[in-house]
Amino acid sequence: MSVRVRLAPSPTGNLHIGTARTAVFNWLFARHHGGQLILRIEDTDLERSRPEYTQNILDGLTWLGLTWDEGPFFQTKRMHLYRQAIQTLLGQGLAYRAYDTPEELEAMREAQKARNEAPRYDNRHRHLTPEQEAAFMAEGRKPVIRFKIEDDREIAWDDLVRGKVTWKGRDLGGDMVIARAAEADKIGQPLYNFVVVVDDIEMNITHVIRGEDHIGNTPKQILLYEALGATVPEFGHTPLILNQAGAKLSKRDGVTSISDFQRMGYIAEAIVNYMTLLGWSPSEGMTEIFTLEEAANHFGFERVNKAGAKFDWDKLNWLNSQYLHHMPIDRLTDLLIPYWQGAEYAFEESDRAWLEPLTALIAPSLVRLEDAIAMTNYLFVSDVGFTEAATNQLRQEGTAPALNGIIAALENTSSLTADKAQEVIQQGVKAANVKKGVVMRSLRAALTGDMHGPDLIQSWLLLNQHQMDLPRLKQALAIAESAI
Ligand code: GLU
């Protein structure tokens, strides 16, 4: 049978990096085996699920290139299937109605605590007589539905990542609730562990690949597969993503949702590449930079680590910069335009003859797309703002005459080129009678407002094309002269 895997996000938040990484492993596994990836939105938590989160998840997966073959299916649209399956289990005596009140359950837990026992349901309503049930109903109690779990059952599976995993029935907390409380003749809302199994059976899922945080659900789900007469799929529990302190990565660690990474200027190729490396070691001979398709050719669970994977910003930044540095300039320009627009820089989007050289100028220094805003500020704004270092440079002796010489030469120059710029600089050297280095530093301070930045001559040419160089030189000259 061909491989069928699924991705089952809950739309209770934006697409999280952990879910996206699970998506990557499912995608790679499906692709490697020529199988199918099914997308299922687990929206049964009505209070916390929101359509905008579903949209964020769909957009995020699409942006990352994690395409799916079937779905999205929504669990809220499939409630009849779950209720039918519960009816079957009730009919077979594998599930039953339990009428305990919250107070009774609480008292039971307190007593267990007092005896130093782990909390569990003690299965006290497993064998109610029809008379007892009738009496509870007469009291107006609303029953939940519980699935029977035998204490002496041993549940084992051969995990794709972790090898053999074994659980004992008695460690699963007693007979489990599979549907919330409702009138005794109805079936209340079916719960997570149950609906997942019904769906995985109905969708013919062959491999359940998900985060290690679900490992405790797997033994319960295996029992449900058996009770529903279905073949148990294979399971693979992928290691968690950890923060630098070794704890599970959470919102407290800052950015965790894919849309935030996107906004900050990480590109999709770099993120999926990085997420693949978070837990999977590339095969011999592969470099660390690869596309999803390349990884899919080599992907297998034998190279997925058992240990949690630490999220490493430096590594992600490095990968992102590698992608940006090697990207065709026209595509990079397209990616940068929204950032410049967001910063409210004034420019014509159609002015590619100016924008593309500008992109080429900063491309080698970019780590994230967002960096372009600060890096290119001096090329867009009319009032640049001089840093302290630049102001100090402007106030050095020799700067004012050098700038005067440059301004005079520039006013006599039409259409500046790199060669002509060198001639103008020579005029400055002559006028001030200082070393060329002094003139270059003064020129950088004057044109860019800073002492560090991209190539000076290229920057100047770009400023010149927008007639921004002369006004800025004059502004700088005023500062230089005010020091005398
Ligand atoms: N809906 C679950 C989650 O978002 C995933 C369930 C599963 O993969 O079995 O964590």
Helices 352-362 & 456-465 angle (0-180, nearest 10):
160
Residue 252, domain extent: 1-67+239-326
pLDDT tens for the chain, 484 residues long, are 799 999 999 999 999 999 999 999 999 999 999 999 999 999 999 899 999 999 999 999 999 999 999 999 999 999 999 999 999 999 999 999 999 999 999 999 999 999 999 999 999 999 999 999 999 999 999 999 999 999 999 999 999 999 999 999 999 999 999 999 999 999 999 999 999 999 999 999 999 999 999 999 999 999 999 999 999 999 999 999 999 899 888 877 877 899 999 999 999 999 999 999 999 999 888 999 999 999 999 999 999 999 999 999 999 999 999 999 999 999 999 999 999 999 999 999 999 999 999 999 999 999 999 999 999 999 999 999 999 999 999 999 999 999 999 999 999 998 899 999 999 999 999 999 999 999 999 999 999 999 999 999 999 999 999 999 999 999 999 999 986 5
How is residue 271 written in tokens? 């993120």
How is residue 109 written in tokens? 């837990």
Asked if 4 and 93 sit in the same domain, the reply is no
Asked if 58 and 129 sit in the same domain, the reply is no
Write the CATH number for 151: 3.90.800.10
- Phi first, then psi, for residue 154 (nearest 5°) are -110, 130
Asked if 245 and 279 sit in the same domain, the reply is yes
Q: How far is the CA of 216 from the centre of ligand 1 (A)?
A: 12
Q: Are the C-beta atoms of residues 378 and 450 closer than 8 Å to each other?
A: yes
Asked if 472 and 420 sit in the same domain, the reply is yes
Asked if 4 and 103 sit in the same domain, the reply is no
For residue 14, being part of any structural domain is answered with yes
Burial of 225 (0-12, 13-18, 19+ CB in 10 A): middle
Q: How far is the CA of 262 from the centre of ligand 1 (A)?
A: 23
How is residue 238 written in tokens? 């992928």
Asked if 86 and 187 sit in the same domain, the reply is yes
Number of domains in the chain: 4
- Cα 402 from chain centroid? 51
For residue 163, being part of any structural domain is answered with yes
Cβ(379) – ligand 1 distance below 6 Å: no
- Residue 381 CA to residue 452 CA, distance in Å, equals 17
Asked if 393 and 376 sit in the same domain, the reply is no
- Phi first, then psi, for residue 392 (nearest 5°) are -60, -40
Instruction: Render pLDDT for 119-174 as a digit per residue (tens, 0 to 9).
Output: 999 999 999 999 999 999 999 999 999 999 999 999 999 999 999 999 999 999 99
The one catalytic residue in 77, 251, 436, 474 is 251
Cβ(196) – ligand 1 distance below 6 Å: yes
For residue 231, being part of any structural domain is answered with no
Q: How far is the CA of 443 from the centre of ligand 1 (A)?
A: 59
What is the value of pTM for the model shown? 0.92
> Quick one: CA dihedral 190, 196, 198, 202, positive or negative?
positive
DSSP 3-state assignment of 153?
coil
Q: Which atom of ligand 1 is nearest to the CA of 217?
A: 9
Write the CATH number for 53: 3.40.50.620
Burial of 481 (0-12, 13-18, 19+ CB in 10 A): middle
Q: Is position 420 annotated as part of the catalytic site?
A: no
- Residue 75 CA to residue 197 CA, distance in Å, equals 12
Residues whose CB falls within 8 Å of the CB of residue 177, separated by 6 or more in sequence, listed in order? 98, 144, 145, 146, 147, 191
- Tell me the CA distances in angstroms from 149 to 122, 221, 338, 426, one per residue in order: 11, 11, 56, 89
